[in-house]
Structure 1
């Protein structure tokens, strides 16, 4: 059974979708930064549910159908994004859940395990790193008029770099935004990355469900990731597996290796031929087995 609904969480509206029966062990999927829940493949979610799990995915605030904020003025922080994940569990009356986090979602999962260990049954960290250190921005509070271009936000006080200056994407244009999303996925991927038609359908769905993609990408970067937890990972007692692509160029081998060393008892499992991407279909059997075995 699949059910999508809007739920009041932490003073905002969040879009939450569930797969499977609520009586099964709960499994919460945490998407990357500036990413709606659409990036978790529908069939992947159904297969997790078929494995006897109650699967939950949701749109971060400022993504998908969840509450959106003006570009350059996110009224939230990275810590709030973690609280949103806990709020989803509360709204569904789930005392705890198995967490599966991709990239930034892995950073959220680490923080939940450190600060709210009773809410976390297991950790599956995919394409993650300690504190997601390669993408740690400063939180910026903007309180004056601004203009947004493809690469920066200009206020009456300062200019904040939002993305590389070569990014001239018009995120309000469906064709331009979809093409950019496809290019980004393929640039981060490997030989098993889905072909262009599949990515196009997915990117079009993301665009059509999003209120303002330019705001999404800028605001999540401004919100940051919250206080670091590197020195606290040794306190995690939750069963943990680290899944990492051998072709991940954003977080090369030393990042997942450090993560696996930092969390007591964590196992590092390599995904051959996979880049910095959600697990492509070619490795689904391996990934599903790891998740389901851990989230028993």
Structure 2
């Protein structure tokens, strides 16, 4: 379907849907700083073809959604959680299965904690606990830290910006599998060309928390599936394991040698797992 601009709490967000609106709804929440394009079209179609109504959207300051001056976002992480609920409102969806990746997984957790009636189930991919816990977790890998700590040299032109984003995608991939630089470059170019102001996405790096819920993860009562790659450089596997332990009844699906995010090579595993989880509410082992 075509993209649709919607208004949520007075701001415009860009959305897109796949599949039959009468089917069980699945809301896809991408990581902060990333537009909905990172839920690739082919992935969305596969989920929709499995009998789901798929909704994806651009966060504020990404893609075609409302854009703020770089360094002056004027909103909080709590507002991003409310945006997710607001997108459901615009499609007249009382509650959805919520699938979040990276920081989008944290937003999904906060949605379940603060707006439990809007969430049928959770799928948390390449993420970590959204609220403090008492377990010490490993930091990102040294390679990841070096990359994000290195500032860009000067003001990059369009080609240099593309190559830096591709290099970042390569680091996130974890280094244990072949990296498809051509596919990454195509997606990055499309993302940059589509954005109102690609630099504005950096606002997500310094957002204040706002007013997050104070409830522990143990209070999440919806069926939860945690999916995590064994080569994730941002959140090493122990983050996913700890998350699955803290949420009652959560199941953990590990992806061998997968990095951060959803790689095309894992669609054949991840899509059926999501479909089973959202069909039965009983996770990967459901029938």
Scaled by the length of structure 1, the TM-score of the pair is 0.85
In structure 2, what is the equivalent of residue 289 of structure 1?
Answer: 272
Q: How far 1:223 moved relative to its partner?
A: 1.2
In the alignment, which residue of structure 1 is the partner of 2:241?
257
Aligned twin of 1:98: 97
Stretch deviating more after TM superposition (117-126 or 231-240): 231-240
What is the alpha-carbon distance in structure 1 between the residues aligned to residue 103 and residue 41 of structure 2? Answer: 20
Residues 150-185 of structure 1, C-alpha deviations (whole Å, 9 max, x = no match) = xxxxxxxxxxxxx635333636x3212211110000
Summarize the alignment of residues 1-296 of structure 1 with structure 2, pairs less than 5 Å apart: 2-131=1-130, 164-168=149-153, 170=155, 173-190=157-174, 191-192=176-177, 194-217=179-202, 219-226=203-210, 232-276=216-260, 278-296=261-279
Secondary structure at 2:65 match in 1: coil
Deviation at 1:234, TM superposition (A): 0.6
Distance verdict in 2 for CA 1:57–1:109, change over 3 Å: same
Q: CA RMSD in A?
A: 1.8
Q: Where do 5+ consecutive residues of structure 2 fail to align?
A: 138-147, 280-287
What secondary structure is seen at the aligned counterpart in 1 of 2:23?
A: coil
Structure 1 gaps of 5+ residues are: 135-162
The superposition leaves residues 187-220 of structure 1 with CA deviations (integer Å, 9 ceiling, x where unpaired) of 1114446511111110000001112222211x11
Do the aligned residues in 2 keep the contact of 1:169 with 1:177 (CA within 8 Å)?
A: no
TM (norm. structure 2) is: 0.87
Would the alpha carbon gap of residues 193 and 25 (structure 1) be closer, same or farther in structure 2, given more than 3 Å must change?
farther
Aligned residues: 264
